[in-house]
Structure 1
Amino acid sequence: MPSPQQARAQASAITSGKTAPEVEAAPTSQLRVLFDQPRLSPGQRRIAQYLIEHITEAAFLSITDLAERVGVSQPSVTRFAAAVGFSGYPALREKLQAIALGTLAGGPAEEDRANELQAAVDAEIENLENLRRDFADPDRVIAVGRELSASTPLTVLGLRISASLAEYFAYAARRIHPDVRLVTLGGTVAYDALLQSREAGGTWVLAFSLPRHAQETLTAVRVARGAGLRVALITDLALGPVADEADVTFATGTGSRLVFDSYAAPGVMAAALLQAMTDADPERTQARLESYEQISDQHQFFLRD
């Protein structure tokens, strides 16, 4: 009798039955692609992030109003429009309005008034809907899952509040990967672990950077890159210092309606990469899950449901 993990590994491979995307990418994803330039200045990144976070309102602002909202000069907005491939701000605003109107046209009808807890759930549902649209084309997830699967050892980095998702990922990845190294302490402890991972033959690090973003995460990612490791990043910001240092960034929204953030969409993103790793080497996956089931039965790790 296969375990739940074995059954899912056999039945839900994301590479099987793949069809062409039928769903338009989420508005935030469209904007991230639009603004995905190699080296935007800090001021230009602030403009991009403001547009991503306030698309339905910002798309209709004048250049003066947008500059004032972001706290930059009007020439900075003009230079930003040119940096992302437009002849000027009017052309950029026309594109933004098309994206914003598509968002409004496809949005839900006015809902009943919700209390704060319901509003927090609604915000997470929106994050998950956006992630669902991003998954319409899973090629990038599949490719990175293949790379993580092949990296031995595989290092998983998550500092401060990001440690919880890193621990989840590492716990599950150890069921299907022979050498997963978890790093949840910063400073020289992280440096040692990253350098040792590279010396042992590792090629990739999966890093988590969730709000509030830790300075030591940025430093650790830079150390990893300096040692020759490539970095895949799960975060909430497609633009910013940590994303700039990563080789691949998976940006998805976090819930920010309550005192402490919630991480439904990043959790699903992590699970999707785990699924891609199982698909990358199905024979190893099956063998390791079978071996683990035998050990867990022998030592009675789990209660009988």
Structure 2
Amino acid sequence: MASPDLHSQLTARFEQLTPKQKRLAQFLLDNLYVAAFESANELAARLEVSAATVVRFSQALGYAGYPELQAAVRAGLPKTLTAAERGERALAAASNGAAAQVRRVFDADIRAVTRARSSVDLAQLETICLALAEASRILVLGAGVCSGVAAHLDHGLRLVGLPSALVAAGGIPLAVGLANLDEQSVVIGFGVWRYVKSVVNAMVFAKQAGARCFALTDSPVSPLAQHAELALILPTEGVGHTLSMAGMLALANAIQVMIAHLRPQQTLRSLRNVDQVYQFGDILLSD
């Protein structure tokens, strides 16, 4: 969320902005970490406006130029708040009851999925999916809040017949997972917010071993993004002490669907084989 001063500037002057400037304002409110580190040219290209429009937008908010606006954005960024600190702030600010807060959670997840759909570069997504489809070995890394979505992607990759393995903890399981990585291996790392050291260190090791490394993370300057060949940046702004993983989960589903499209026959064969094992083992409740 933008700092109170910046937020008030944007909302107070929103109606006076041009349509393109309004797009910039909305992006700024929704993607602070991106705006904090991208240049005016990069931001302009992302939103398909001119760099001059970005400068004029900054001036319309009362700043000398984009560098001054960017400095204000950075100054207002939350640092590494703990979950307890996030919760304390949310509880202190909440004055309209639990039901309203619950609705905000669903609204935050809807926004996260919508923003993920509009911001993900499909060409980059296809590059990642092609690498996964051709890999001799896949390692999916995700700990803490990312462990669930990492497990979901790993399960989906194995379901369609890809050689995936999940590592959600450090120590010996991670060491075994990292052993024997090579140029035909692909590593997918999940990481958001305060980032887990073991996942970041594993990405560093995997890159040195020659594996292709990709990240699903919340900032273009996150430690995972810095060590990845490609990083898909996803919004995770939640309510209270929580983060929204809805956009990341939707992207994990998109990866599975794109891989199925890239290798349809192999996918169908694997799905049929899985069904046969389910039936043989009497695993699922029957109709």
Q: TM-score, normalised by structure 2?
A: 0.66
| C-alpha deviation, 1:277, in angstroms | 1.6
Q: Secondary structure at the match of 2:181?
A: helix
Q: Secondary structure at the match of 1:292?
A: helix
Q: State which of 157, 160, 164 in structure 2 corresponds to 1:176.
A: 160
Please say if 1:146 is aligned against 2:130: yes
Contact kept in structure 2, 1:195 and 1:224, CA below 8 Å = no
Q: Deviations over 1:102-123 (max 9, x none)?
A: xxxxxxxxxxxx8111112212
**Regions of 4+ moved over 3 Å:** 24-37, 56-59, 63-72
Q: Structure 1 residues 300, 258: closer, same or farther in 2, change over 3 A? A: farther
Q: Structure 1 residues 148, 187: closer, same or farther in 2, change over 3 A? A: same
| C-alpha deviation, 1:226, in angstroms | 0.8
Q: Secondary structure at the match of 1:286?
A: helix
Contact kept in structure 2, 1:234 and 1:250, CA below 8 Å = yes
Q: Please tell me the residue identity of whatever aligns with 1:117.
A: V
Over the aligned positions, Cα root-mean-square deviation in angstroms equals: 3.3
CA distance in 1, matches of 2:192, 2:246: 12
Q: Please tell me the residue identity of whatever aligns with 1:116.
A: Q
Q: Please tell me the residue identity of whatever aligns with 1:213.
A: Y
Q: Secondary structure at the match of 1:166?
A: helix
Q: Deviations over 1:150-185 (max 9, x none)?
A: 111111111233221111111121111242111112
Q: Please tell me the residue identity of whatever aligns with 1:165.
A: V
CA distance in 1, matches of 2:224, 2:170: 15
CA distance in 2, matches of 1:185, 1:65: 40
| C-alpha deviation, 1:36, in angstroms | 5.7
Gaps of at least 5 residues in structure 2 are 1-22, 40-56, 77-98
CA distance in 1, matches of 2:171, 2:147: 14
Aligned length: 220
Q: Structure 1 residues 155, 65: closer, same or farther in 2, change over 3 A? A: closer
Q: TM-score, normalised by structure 1?
A: 0.63
Q: Structure 1 residues 70, 34: closer, same or farther in 2, change over 3 A? A: closer
- Alignment of structure 1 residues 123-142 onto 2, 5 Å: 123-134=108-119, 138-142=122-126
| C-alpha deviation, 1:304, in angstroms | 2.5
Contact kept in structure 2, 1:158 and 1:209, CA below 8 Å = yes
Q: State the identity %.
A: 20
Q: State which of 254, 257, 269 in structure 2 corresponds to 1:275.
A: 257
Q: Deviations over 1:189-236 (max 9, x none)?
A: 4233123233xx642111111233112221111011111111111111
| C-alpha deviation, 1:60, in angstroms | 2.2
CA distance in 2, matches of 1:246, 1:227: 13
Gaps of at least 5 residues in structure 1 are 1-23, 38-55, 73-113
Deviates more, 1:123-132 or 1:280-289: 123-132
- Alignment of structure 1 residues 169-248 onto 2, 5 Å: 169-187=153-171, 189-198=173-182, 202-248=184-230
Contact kept in structure 1, 2:143 and 2:168, CA below 8 Å = yes
- Alignment of structure 1 residues 43-58 onto 2, 5 Å: none
Q: Secondary structure at the match of 1:205?
A: strand
CA distance in 2, matches of 1:289, 1:207: 25
Q: Please tell me the residue identity of whatever aligns with 1:252.
A: L
CA distance in 1, matches of 2:71, 2:177: 43
Q: Structure 1 residues 139, 299: closer, same or farther in 2, change over 3 A? A: same
Contact kept in structure 2, 1:176 and 1:289, CA below 8 Å = yes
Please say if 1:122 is aligned against 2:107: yes
Q: Deviations over 1:138-161 (max 9, x none)?
A: 232222111111111111111233
Q: Please tell me the residue identity of whatever aligns with 2:195.
A: H
Partner of 1:299: 281
Contact kept in structure 2, 1:58 and 1:66, CA below 8 Å = no
Q: Please tell me the residue identity of whatever aligns with 1:281.
A: R
